[in-house]
Amino acid sequence: MLLNKDTDLSLTIIKQFQTFLFEKYGYDFRDYALSSFKRRVEHLLFFFKSGSVNDLIRKIDANPSLAEQAVKEITVNTTEMFRDPSFWRKMRDEVLSQFVSSPVIRIWHAACSSGEEVYSMCIILQEMGLLDKARIFASDINSEVLANAKSGVYPIRSLDTTKSNFDRLGTSGKLENYYKVSSDQTTIKYNESLIKNVNFRKHNLVSEEGFSKFDIVLCRNVMIYFNFDLQDRVMDTISNSLFKGGFLAIGSKETIVWCSTAKDFQPLSVEEKIYKKIV
């Protein structure tokens, strides 16, 4: 954390950094919400041991492999299994239950980070006997978190949160059935069979179109890092990726009411932020 007023990053310098990343490497953070982006740039300065943004730019300019790393450090990747258990109950009881007699369920986890959201979904689908007919895409801008997602390996300390969230789901299933603890007791690995129908792919919500149509799209806790204009644009992409009658899930304190596509959606749960696409 920077403790000196004189070293406070100015708007100008932050914009300069965004322009650099875009023009040199095509990563477009220009419409990210400023206050969290500024905090992430401060984190980058610390991470790359740079004294100034100009120094940071010089380093990343000279070494393209640092750009990928910068993207990882700039984005906020925090996530957890079954984040907001009441959301997952609603997803199970009022959304997934509608697909019991459908031949297939197409799901997109947009910005899935290290994959906890995907494993949460797959465990619930398995419990409902729906996993075999699920066709899931899980995407993120960051290839490192995607690799983690594919491996299904997480620190053992994550189990505390996972268990306490899982207990709140109110299910008869046993979490222990879905993972194995490593022999040195430091990590756990979720069963590979859980993700047999999952396709992980690198995808940038800001600069790319959608790539298919889905019954359910989860885009949780990523649009909070975008400014309003960008939220509006990304919501267009997401809306276009949903079938009529499909469902959109966003983070518990996010909203689409200000977006121009809002009129295409009807809330299924105001509390849990699940919407149904009506056109």
Ligand X SMILES: C[S@@+](CC[C@H](N)C(=O)[O-])C[C@H]1O[C@@H](n2cnc3c(N)ncnc32)[C@H](O)[C@@H]1O
Residues in touch with ligand X (CB under 6 A) = 75-79, 83, 111-113, 117, 140-142, 145, 204-206, 220-222, 251
| Alpha helix ranges (H) inside the chain | 11-25, 34-47, 53-62, 64-74, 85-90, 116-127, 143-151, 158-167, 228-240
- Please state, in angstroms and rounded to a whole number, the distance separating the CA atoms of residues 55 and 59: 6
Closest CB 127 distance from ligand X, rounded Å: 20
- Partner from ligand X, other proteins, none binding residue 111, C-beta < 5-8 Å depending on class: ligand X
- Partner from ligand X, other proteins, none binding residue 84, C-beta < 5-8 Å depending on class: other proteins
Closest CB 140 distance from ligand X, rounded Å: 5
Structure token digits, residue 12: 């100008």
- Partner from ligand X, other proteins, none binding residue 117, C-beta < 5-8 Å depending on class: ligand X
- The correct pick among 17, 38, 162, 235 for binding other proteins (CB under 8 A) is 38
- The correct pick among 252, 262, 268, 269 for binding other proteins (CB under 8 A) is 252
Binding pattern to other proteins, positions 161-180, x when CB under 8 A?
---x---x------------
The half-sphere exposure of 59 on its side-chain side, counting CA atoms within 13 A, is: 17
Nearest to 166 by CA among 273, 96, 80, 268: 80
Q: Which is nearer to ligand X, 14 or 133 (CB)?
A: 14
Q: Which is nearer to other proteins, 36 or 197 (CB)?
A: 36
Count of positions on this chain that bind other proteins (CB under 8 A): 35
Structure token digits, residue 220: 């949780």
- Partner from other proteins, ligand X, none binding residue 118, C-beta < 5-8 Å depending on class: none
The per-residue b/e assignment along 217-233, b for 16 or more CB within 10 angstroms, e otherwise, is bbbbbbbebbeeebbbb
Closest CB 124 distance from ligand X, rounded Å: 15
Yes or no: say if 39 and 46 are a contact pair by the CB < 8 Å rule. no
Yes or no: say if 181 and 191 are a contact pair by the CB < 8 Å rule. no
Q: How many CB atoms lie within 10 A of CB 203?
A: 20
Structure token digits, residue 80: 């957890």
Q: How many residues does the chain have?
A: 279
- Partner from ligand X, other proteins, none binding residue 8, C-beta < 5-8 Å depending on class: other proteins
Q: Which is nearer to other proteins, 193 or 255 (CB)?
A: 255
Closest CB 5 distance from other proteins, rounded Å: 4
Closest CB 175 distance from other proteins, rounded Å: 17
Closest CB 209 distance from other proteins, rounded Å: 24
